[in-house]
Amino acid sequence: MPELHVELAARRYPIHIESGLLRRRIAALAQAPERMLIVTDDNVGPLYADALKQAIGRPDCPVWRMPAGEAEKTLARFGELLEHMAERGLTRDARVLALGGGVIGDLAGFAAACYMRGIAFVQIPTTLLAMVDSSVGGKTAVDLPAGKNLVGAFHQPQAVYIDPDVLATLPEREFRAGLAEVLKYGAIADARFFGWLEDNAEALLARDAAELEGAILLSCRHKADIVARDETEQGDRALLNFGHTFGHALEVLLDYGTLLHGEAVAIGMQLAADFSVELGHADIGDSQRLRALLNRFGLPTALPTGLGADAVVAKMRLDKKAAAGRLRLILWRGVGKAFIAGDVDAGALTAFLAAQSA
């Protein structure tokens, strides 16, 4: 079974990727003496909580469930979970098992970061997005009405367990949105992987086990490498935000929920690529390759109609990835070659976006 490690200054942790993992025994968890609490949502719990209990050899492991969806990633739910942990009498050596998509991973991880000043947690991601992105790297958070992920902590999991088989039940739209983040790794840093995705697009869309495992493994390897180099986003980790400053602006302007995150990132990556072509950093052939692959994955690439260029740029300036006063963007020199542009001219960006929506 492929196994990766995330190498941090203080310690390392494994990422296990294996089809059928949840149908077998997870020895490292089954042998651990500590108390555990499974945290999940109302969609994932009924599908996989029993399998996880079997896999860890604890048919009586308690499960805490909450309604599914981004709208539930709140301080209120976070508080409910913490109080539940206290009522159960969990002590410092207890472990939280986050079973679900990025919403559960972020909320359960943040609760683990805060309960008794920090207890251990394990990620068992069940969406493609969570497998290739949110479960690795230790960012945890909840949303505030003022914005996404405004309260959180860096808290690395003890381990990540990925069973690609659970993707069989993931809704098609969620699956395709996850492919946007997979493709992102190829687009920013790995032209060979990008070519492999082009060659294997049909198999991935059919959710073939071998190809999925391969795509997840390579994505996690990229994420783990970047996190190891830059755990708290002082430098290189920002490359992972390719398409995200544009994407976040679209998510906010359209009200969260119209576009899935991966869909907004798909449009954002295409805009970043096309803007890079316009600035002379990248060739048009590369941006056409990007568009073709995104579209094959069923992902949008065009700026939604009815959005003013000024409004988009204003939101991009507010994005927390923008350094004070200037516009900081991840731009592109072509497939596999993203870079951090520290001082982007807002006027040129506005003109570019106005031409897109014309």
Residues involved in catalysis: 117, 139, 181, 223, 233, 237, 241, 244, 248, 261
Q: Does 244 bind ligand NAD (CB under 6 A)?
A: no
Q: Does 44 bind ligand NAD (CB under 6 A)?
A: yes
Place of tokens 């600035």: 279
| Binding to ligand NAD, residues 288-307 (CB under 6 A) | none
- Rounded distance, CA 179 to CA 181, Å? 5
Q: Which of 65, 95, 139, 248 binds ligand NAD (CB under 6 A)?
A: 139
Q: Does 243 bind ligand NAD (CB under 6 A)?
A: no
In angstroms, give the least distance from the CB of 169 to ligand NAD. 4
Q: What is the DSSP string of 183-228?
A: HHHHHHH-HHHHHHHHHTHHHHHTT-HHHHHHHHHHHHHHHHHHHH
**The token pair that represents 161 in the structure block:** 């367990």
Q: Does 354 bind ligand NAD (CB under 6 A)?
A: no
Q: Does 200 bind ligand NAD (CB under 6 A)?
A: no
| Binding to ligand NAD, residues 102-131 (CB under 6 A) | 102-104, 106, 126-127, 129-130
Stretch that binds ligand NAD, among 58-66, 164-172, 182-190, 207-215 (CB under 6 A): 164-172
Coil, strand or helix at 330: strand
Q: Which of 17, 32, 90, 100 binds ligand NAD (CB under 6 A)?
A: 100
Q: Does 174 bind ligand NAD (CB under 6 A)?
A: yes
**DSSP at 319:** S
Q: Does 156 bind ligand NAD (CB under 6 A)?
A: no
Do the annotations mark residue 7 as ligand-binding? no
Which phi and psi (to 5°) does residue 24 adopt?
-115, -175
Helices 346-357 + 309-318 axis angle, to 10: 140
Do the annotations mark residue 261 as ligand-binding? yes
User: By C-beta, is 71 or 348 nearer to ligand NAD?
Assistant: 71
The helix, strand and coil proportions of the chain, stated in percent and rounded to the nearest 5, come to: 50, 20, 30
User: By C-beta, is 130 or 313 nearer to ligand NAD?
Assistant: 130
Do the annotations mark residue 232 as ligand-binding? no
- Rounded distance, CA 111 to CA 330, Å? 31
Stretch that binds ligand NAD, among 41-49, 157-165, 307-315, 320-328 (CB under 6 A): 41-49
Residue (of 229, 236, 221, 253) closest to 319 by Cα position:
253
Do the annotations mark residue 6 as ligand-binding? no
Residue (of 236, 232, 132, 240) closest to 178 by Cα position:
132
Q: Does 19 bind ligand NAD (CB under 6 A)?
A: no
Which phi and psi (to 5°) does residue 139 adopt?
-85, 125
**The token pair that represents 339 in the structure block:** 């870079």
Q: Does 164 bind ligand NAD (CB under 6 A)?
A: no
- Rounded distance, CA 203 to CA 97, Å? 31
Give me the residues that bind ligand NAD (CB under 6 A), please: 41, 43-44, 47, 68-70, 73, 100-104, 106, 126-127, 129-130, 133-134, 137, 139, 148-149, 166, 169-170, 174, 261
Q: Binding site: residue ranges?
A: 102-106, 126-127, 139, 148, 181, 244, 261
Q: Binding site for Zn(2+): residue ranges?
A: 181, 244, 261
